Amino acid sequence: MIDMNLLVALDALLAEGSVTGAARRLGLSSSAMSRTLTRLRAATGDPLLVRAGRGLVPTPHARDLRDKVRHLTHEARAVLSPPAAALDIAALEQTFTLRAGEGFLARFLPVLVKAIREAAPNVRLCFTPKPSKDARPLREGAVDLDIGVAGESGPELRSRFLFRDRVIGAVRPGHPLLTGPITPESYAACGHVVASRRGAQSGPVDQALAALGLSRKIVAIVPGFPDAMRLARQSDLVALVPSSCLIRTAEEPARPDDLLGFALPVETPDVVVSLMWHPRLDADPAQRWLRDTVQAACLDHMRGAGTRMHVA
């Protein structure tokens, strides 16, 4: 007979990557979790977690099992949980905490607040800054929903696709770079402003330029995309921003000082923006409504908006 408790323990071990962490999550002693790991190794015929320095790392088989075990555990909990009562959205009184970067909020904050207020006027949204990609606020319940790049915060987190973005250049109208074709050489020769929470000076665009024997001259490093755009609007510096930062709707007419976006003259990977939440919130009907509403509002806004682009 299969002990289903082993499945829950395996899910915790693969999520935490630590016997101590898994024990804490399940309310067990470290010795009890260590014995459970021994049983799991015997049941699967694989070491699952092996020593690497002072920590443990998953084996290839354990990495292959991680998503499957997470799904099975979630399904088992759903089967053994009572059906949720119907949720009256219009009467819902709750505060939801969302964490997102400054650039995302600059573009989507009014859209999200409007969508939530129309459906649930008694719901309060609390937006918190995102100084890092640490998953601890989600794990500890300080944040209900995180918006960013999935896979960079924590292996156990659930995620849902929000939209695909691309990085573009942005300059003020009349910028000298726009007087001719934008080449890797003309782009690299400009002064640049970089947005980075941690003060990083290089990224994928710099790697692509380096392959051509080129490098950018970084003049300023600022905390977020709105700061980079503000500086680019008032100078000849070139900003590097997600294309979503320059979108506008029909209700937002173009202004003379709007930044112009242009496709980079080198290849860079797209950015996939996702919703992320902790598995314990999966079955909560209010949380499901929040995720659905945020996703729908962002997708509708992206579909109905255009980007002011310069055609070289």
pLDDT, position 222: 94
pLDDT of 239 higher than 50: yes
Confidence at residue 248, expressed as pLDDT on a 0 to 100 scale: 65
Instruction: With CA atoms as reference, report the closest residue to 237 among 216, 258, 225, 219.
Output: 219
Q: What does the pLDDT read at residue 261?
A: 92
- DSSP codes of every residue in the chain: ---THHHHHHHHHHHHSSHHHHHHHHT--HHHHHHHHHHHHHHHTS--EEEETTEEEE-HHHHHHHHHHHHHHHHHHHHTSPPPPPP-GGG---EEEEE--HHHHHHHHHHHHHHHHHH-TT-EEEEE--SS--SHHHHTTS-SEEEEETTSS-TT-EEEEEEEE-EEEEE-TT-GGGGS---HHHHHTSEEEEE-TT-----HHHHHHHTTT---EEEEEESSHHHHHHHHHTSSPEEEEEGGGGEE-TTS---TTPPEEE--SS----EEEEEEE-GGGTT-HHHHHHHHHHHHHHHHHHHT-EE-B---
10-68 pLDDT, tens digit each: 988 988 888 988 888 888 888 999 999 999 999 999 999 998 877 888 999 988 888 78
Residue 208's pLDDT is: 94
Please say whether the beta carbons of 211 and 204 come within 8 A. Answer: no
Q: Do β-strands 191-195 and 158-165 pair in parallel, antiparallel, or remain unpaired? A: unpaired
Query: What residues contact 308, with CB distance under 8 A and at least 6 apart?
Result: 246, 248, 254, 258, 259, 260, 261
pLDDT digits (tens, 9 = 90+) for 199-233: 777 889 999 999 999 999 999 999 888 899 999 99
CA dihedral (112, 116, 122, 124) positive or negative: negative
Task: Answer whether 227's CB lies under 8 Å from 251's CB.
Answer: no
pLDDT at 311 (0 to 100): 47
pLDDT of residue 299: 85
What pLDDT does residue 263 have?
92
The answer, yes or no, to whether residue 137 has pLDDT greater than 60, is yes
- When pLDDT is cut at 50, 70 and 90, the band that residue 312 belongs to is very low
Return the amino acid letter for 191: G
Q: How far is 123 from 85, CA to CA, in rounded Å?
A: 19
Asked whether residue 122 carries a pLDDT value surpassing 70, the answer given is yes
Flag whether pLDDT at 251 surpasses 70.
no
Handedness of CA 63, 59, 25, 147 (dihedral sign): negative
The segment with the largest mean pLDDT, out of 116-120, 157-161, 271-275, is: 116-120
**What local confidence, expressed as pLDDT, does residue 1 receive?**
62
Residue 249 pLDDT greater than 80, yes or no:
no
Q: Which domains does the chain have, with CATH numbers?
A: 5-79 (1.10.10.10), 89-165+271-307 (3.40.190.10), 167-262 (3.40.190.10)
- Residue 159 CB neighbours (<10 A): 16
Query: Which range is least confidently modeled, 40-44, 240-244, 256-260?
Result: 256-260
Which residues are registered as beta bridge partners of 159?
276
Tell me what pLDDT residue 78 has.
Answer: 65
Q: What is the pLDDT of residues 273-311, one digit of tens each?
A: 889 998 888 888 999 999 999 999 988 887 766 555 554
Q: Is the dihedral of CA 22, 24, 30, 36 positive or negative?
A: negative
pLDDT band at 82 (very low <50, low <70, confident <90, very high): low
Question: Looking at the DSSP assignment, which residues form a beta bridge with residue 276?
Answer: 146, 159
| Percent above pLDDT 70 for the chain | 88
| In the predicted structure, residue 117 carries a pLDDT above the cut 90 | yes
Beta carbons within 10 angstroms of residue 182's beta carbon:
20
Per residue in 173-184, pLDDT (tens digit) is 999 999 999 999
